[in-house]
Chain A
Amino acid sequence: MIKQDVEIKNKLGLHARAAAKLSHLANKFNSNIFLIYNDDKVNAKSLLGILTLAASIGNSITILADGRDEEKAVKKIVELFDKKFDEEN
């Protein structure tokens, strides 16, 4: 199991399109992947679940992945956060 914190860097935070990209990416992996923010833990493969976090710029999210491709999953998800979901230059 891997746990890694990541900061939200895009201006709009985890809004609908960003959540869609994130859940789409998470669904490519076999591992169970969760996002933890404050006391909430949601399935990273659920678009609507991600939206319930209502997380915005500057917030820190914990990614929790468990499965045979957990390392790659976390790496790719962190990359998506770091490149601001391709929303900003």
Chain B
Amino acid sequence: MIKCVVITHGNLGEELIRVSEKIVQKKQDIQCLRFDWVEDGSKIVHKLEAYLKTNRNNQVIILTDMFGGSPANICLKYIGSNVEVITGINLPGMLKYITHVDKQLDFKELVRLVKQGTIDGISVLGEYLGEKRK
């Protein structure tokens, strides 16, 4: 089974999950960990390790808000065949995960789709419309 953890600065992750679930009108089993400004990261590492231990027989996608940010950096040592990290998650990426996690996809394929959904969600609308009008 594929599971998901969202780790972000502040309550960004909670809101991403809440809004995504509101759009698709479906509750998801997604763990959310918030990196508060005052902490050194040890609490969140402890929680993440506990989650990964509980899910050692599952595959886990960790969605973080920014490449190079603390939420992503603390995940580096857990990356392996059953754990992958995607940085820069946004609403389209979350929606891609939520709408595809139940489709029995291969772990790497789901990771690829979520990454692509995240990237594809970024557009300069003027340019996009300009291309369509050509």
Number of A-B contacts (CB under 8 A): 27
B23 is contacted by which of A17, A38, A39, A40 (Cβ under 8 Å)? A17
* A51–chain B nearest beta-carbon distance, Å: 8
| Bound-complex Cα distance A46 to B103 (A) | 13
Total B residues in contact with A, Cβ cutoff 8 Å: 12
A68 CB–B CB distance under 8 Å? no
The answer for the CA separation of A20 and B66 in the assembled complex, in Å, is: 26
- Please encode chain A, from 11 to 22, with 1 for each CB lying within 8 Å of some chain B CB and 0 for all others: 000001100110
Which residues of A pack against B, CB within 8 Å? 16-17, 20-21, 23-24, 38-40, 46-48
Q: Which residues on B are within 8 Å of A, measured CB to CB?
A: 22-25, 92, 95-96, 99, 117, 120-121, 132
